[in-house]
Amino acid sequence: MILSLAPVFSAGLGAAQEKLRIGLVIEQTGAGASLGAYWIKAFELAVGEVNKGGGVLGRQVEYEIFDNQSKAPVSVSATQKALSWGAFAIAGPIYSGNTLACMPVTQEAKTPQMTGSENWRITLQGDKYIWRMSTGQTQEIQKLLNWVMAERKPKALGMLYVNNDFGIGAWETAKKLLKEKYNTELVMAAACEQKQPDYSAELKKIKESNADTVLLNLLEEESAMFYRQAKKVGLNAFLCTVNTGISVDACRLGKEAVDGVYGTSGYEYSAPEAGCQRLAKYYRERYGEWPDNEFMKGYNAVYLVKTGIELAKSFDKEKFVEKMHSVHITPKIQPNIVGGSLYYDENGELHSWDYLAKVTWNGKEALAKALFAIPPFKGPDSDKKTFVVK
């Protein structure tokens, strides 16, 4: 009986090895579930496209979802499960704390990881197996502050940030940039808890500090709650934020209270870039709403794995690593890539175009409209100039 089963098992194992496996370690449940849903939808689309086009070097792509429950310890075990499953690469997580927790696991396994996280420390730890799917918070905040300081010329700048790796990293980045580049300091800063329901204390601090401009680095739901409460008390301060604060979720929850908020984002659905426009059209037609940039990031994760393997002309992970550092990926190299021009440096840090957008309430929905396209600080496009989006 055992002998008769052995050939069947071997054949099954051989068939599985003929597929390219990507483990999607993502926030499927818990606080980040709405964000993880974008990646899951993106994988469905991207993997389907790749397989329909013949796969990667002749192999069909297979993916499995490993729910990290939006928790760092679970992210570690989920990553280990994905590696045991035979993943060539790991995609995710989104939350910075989750990525920082599971990075040592993928590094030890010498397995490529495509993360959706933005904490500045992620790509500065000497881990050659990590790649970021959007520009990190150091770049995003610097681009935002460059515009705010030049165009708004604030007399007093305050900041609210979420009390986790994502928010604390942004606070550290903002403080450093303001001191070194603008010789100024925040007049107030407050750490807010995830799922915090009331911002009365923070609004009082803003008023007492006489801050005329407030930089927000909160998550989507918290951003919306703050906007609503700020509008209710008549806060008279200019609000600017990173991508989470002008995300689809923040705009849907905040509604008219988000009107007039400015923010920076990489893969904005209103961006004048072919990949963004194509995915925005697809998502709007299929789901009846605009996609969050997390959808674009998840989509790119699949195509970056494909790109690295095809550049290496091999499924050898070390050759993948070699080809995917100090590399400029354009539509000529990968036609389906979103962003148009992506430069990955020696640390896996992404340098690409970002967009400054303004949210406007039209009576039915709050929409983020890209106003300016801002070039990367490093790579082939770094000599380009910011231009107005028409």
Does residue 358 carry a pLDDT above 50?
yes
- Report the mean per-residue pLDDT for the chain: 94
State whether 123 and 14 are in the same domain: yes
Does residue 9 carry a pLDDT above 50?
no
Rounded average pLDDT over 159-166: 96
- CATH number for the domain that contains residue 383: 3.40.50.2300
Q: Which residue, among 163, 362, 180, has the nearest Cα to 259 in the 3D structure?
A: 362
State whether 369 and 225 are in the same domain: yes
State whether 37 and 105 are in the same domain: yes
State whether 142 and 290 are in the same domain: no
Q: How far is CA 64 from the centre of its chain?
A: 20
Residue pLDDT, tens place only, 173-216:
999 999 999 999 999 999 999 999 999 999 999 999 999 999 99
Rounded average pLDDT over 36-54: 98
Question: Cα Rg for the chain, rounded, in angstroms?
Answer: 21
Local confidence band at 1 (pLDDT 50, 70, 90 cut-offs): very low
Residue pLDDT, tens place only, 311-337:
999 999 999 999 999 999 999 999 999
Does residue 161 carry a pLDDT above 50?
yes
Question: CA geometry: angle at 350 spanning 217 and 334, to 5°?
Answer: 130
Rounded average pLDDT over 28-48: 98
Pairing of strands 262-265, 342-344: unpaired
Give the count of domains, the chain.
Answer: 2
User: Residue 57 has what pLDDT?
Assistant: 98
User: Residue 332 has what pLDDT?
Assistant: 95
**Cis before 93? omega within 30:** yes
State whether 218 and 367 are in the same domain: yes
State whether 250 and 380 are in the same domain: yes
- Residue-number span of the structural domain to which 357 is assigned: 137-265+353-388
Residue 230 belongs to some domain of the structure? yes
Structure tokens at 105: 């696991």
- The alpha carbon dihedral of 368, 370, 372, 377 has a sign of positive
- The alpha carbon dihedral of 327, 328, 332, 335 has a sign of positive
Q: Which of 9-23, 64-78, 112-126, 358-372 has the lowest mean pLDDT?
A: 9-23
Residue 379 belongs to some domain of the structure? yes
State whether 256 and 299 are in the same domain: no
State whether 113 and 166 are in the same domain: no
State whether 93 and 178 are in the same domain: no
Rounded Cα distance, 79 and 102, in Å: 7
Residue 270 belongs to some domain of the structure? no
Rounded Cα distance, 192 and 167, in Å: 9
Per-residue burial over 149-160, b = 16 or more CB atoms within 10 Å of its CB, e = otherwise? beeeebebbbbb
How would DSSP label each residue in 94-116?
-SHHHHHHHHHHHHHTT--EEE-
User: Residue 17 has what pLDDT?
Assistant: 53
State whether 326 and 342 are in the same domain: yes
Residue pLDDT, tens place only, 271-300:
999 999 999 999 999 999 999 999 999 999
Q: Is 351 helix (H, G, I), strand (E, B) or coil?
A: strand
Q: How many CB atoms lie within 10 A of CB 344?
A: 22
Listed in order, strand segments (DSSP E) in the chain are 20-26, 61-67, 89-91, 113-115, 130-132, 157-162, 188-192, 213-217, 238-241, 262-265, 327-329, 342-344, 350-351, 354-361, 366-374, 387-388
Alpha helices in 18-164 (DSSP H): 33-52, 72-85, 96-108, 137-147
Q: What is the pTM of this model?
A: 0.93
Rounded Cα distance, 119 and 200, in Å: 28
Q: Which residue, among 21, 49, 32, has the nearest Cα to 94 in the 3D structure?
A: 32
Rounded Cα distance, 205 and 369, in Å: 30
Local confidence band at 134 (pLDDT 50, 70, 90 cut-offs): very high
Rounded Cα distance, 109 and 388, in Å: 45
State whether 40 and 128 are in the same domain: yes
Bridge partner residues of 89 (DSSP): 22
Does residue 5 carry a pLDDT above 90?
no
Does residue 6 carry a pLDDT above 90?
no
Structure tokens at 180: 């070194």
State whether 260 and 374 are in the same domain: yes
